[in-house]
Amino acid sequence: MKKMLISILIVIFVPYIIVTVFIKNNEIKIDFVSNMNVRVKRETKNKIDIVPLEDYVIGVLSGEMPLSFEKEALKAQAVAARSYVLKKIEQNYNKEYDVVDTIANQVYLDNEDLKIKFKDEYEEKIVIITEVVKKTSGEYLTYNKEVIEAFFFSTSSGMTENCEEVFQESLPYLKSVDSHYDEISPSYLETKQIKLSEFYQLLNLKYDEQLLVEIIKTTSTGRIKEIKINDQIFTANEIRSKLKLKSTFFSIEQVNDDVIIKTKGYGHGVGMSQYGANGMAKEGYKYDEILKHYYSGVEIEKI
């Protein structure tokens, strides 16, 4: 009877101990293998595709970065994309899918999508993408032996952002770094002009002939976090969404009956800047140097 009781206790508590010790915040340590698959939710096709990891990286590289970029920048993007999805596989192991195929995670294009996108250049483009991915095959980024949250975006304001100032989570490898190469991006500076009446309408504010703008909070690099417009306080993300701005690094100025909005950069600003990576590659930096610049203190490991 005593042995039976002990056996029952072992059956009950050992799994609990394993889960408690090894699983944190719905994340489990996964053994990464070269032939692993990614469960991709295709938002427009309303299905879940099971995609080999390296094929998935090919599809993301095609969807997330211009193939006219330097090879070393493309390699850096491939490693970042692979790292990103491996982290999602860990986080979503007990869910129906690992990632969606949109900007909510990473834009992914399957082979049929690529044929439509590249048309007559398909054969040429697929050779370029496949070569880049093959040269970084199985490589991913770690910090203290854990796969990282490899955030990336299009264009910075000249500096990347501290993770905690944008996503409210402090991660030691996602710290603000110089990214002056972004000045080559067509999205580095943008000016938008709209009528004052339309401006108020978009923000659901009462019309007033005088526009009063007060910046309440900014990040350490100058991105807006909170802003007061007339008598109402908005988060920068609310303004960005309602006015369809490229970033939260913006200024708002009234000029007679118009509102002039100037933005700098494109995207959330955390992690690797794609245009910054391309600028570094043009200067002769290798993909591992680019990655270690944007992700502080990381190592590149291989499956």
| pLDDT value of residue 45 | 87
Do 111 and 159 belong together in one domain?
Answer: yes
The answer on 238 and 275 residing in a single domain is: no
Residues 255 and 285 in one domain: no
Residue 142 domain flag: yes
Residue 121 dihedral angles phi and psi, to the nearest 5°: -95, 5
Please indicate, yes or no, if residue 7 is contained in any of the structural domains: no
User: In whole angstroms, what is the distance from residue 292 CA to residue 287 CA?
Assistant: 9
pTM of this structure: 0.85
**pLDDT grade, residue 25 (50/70/90)?**
very low
Among 4-13, 76-85, 225-234, the minimum mean pLDDT is found in: 4-13
Q: Are residues 177 and 58 in the same domain?
A: yes
* CA–CA separation, 173 and 196 (whole Å): 42
Distance of CA 284 to the CA centre of its chain: 25
Q: What is the pLDDT of residues 225-250, one digit of tens each?
A: 999 999 999 999 999 999 999 999 99
> Does residue 102 sit within a domain?
yes
Q: Give yes or no: residues 154 and 282 share one domain.
A: yes
User: How is residue 256 annotated by DSSP?
Assistant: T
CA distance readout (Å), 24 to 15, 19, 116: 14, 8, 42
The domain tally of the chain equals: 2
Mean pLDDT value across residues 201-229: 95
* C-alpha 81: how far from chain center: 9
Q: Which domain holds residue 255?
A: 189-264
Same domain, yes or no, for 247 and 279? Answer: no
Give the sheet arrangement for strand 189-195, strand by strand. Answer: 189-195, 258-264, 250-255
Q: What is the pLDDT of residue 13?
A: 41
Cα gap 101→55, rounded to integer Å: 13
pLDDT in tens, 118-137: 999 999 999 999 999 999 99
Which long-range contacts link 112-118 to residues 24+ away (Cβ below 8 Å)? 113/59, 113/63, 114/59, 114/62, 117/62
Is residue 197 one of the residues assigned to a domain?
A: yes
| Concatenated DSSP letters of 190-237 | EEEEEEHHHHHHHTT----SS--EEEEEE-TTS-EEEEEETTEEEEHH
> For the chain, give me the number of helices (H) and strands (E)?
10, 16
Q: Which two tokens stand for residue 177?
A: 């770094």
* Residues 120 and 248 grouped into a single domain: no
Bridge partner list, 303: none
Domain match, 38 and 59 both:
yes
Could you give the C-alpha distances from 23 to 10, 27, 38, 93, 97, in angstroms and in order? 19, 5, 20, 11, 18
Same-domain check for residues 196 and 127: no
Task: For residues 65 and 200, state if they share a domain.
Answer: no
Q: Say if 9 falls within a structural domain.
A: no
143 with 281, same domain: the answer is: yes
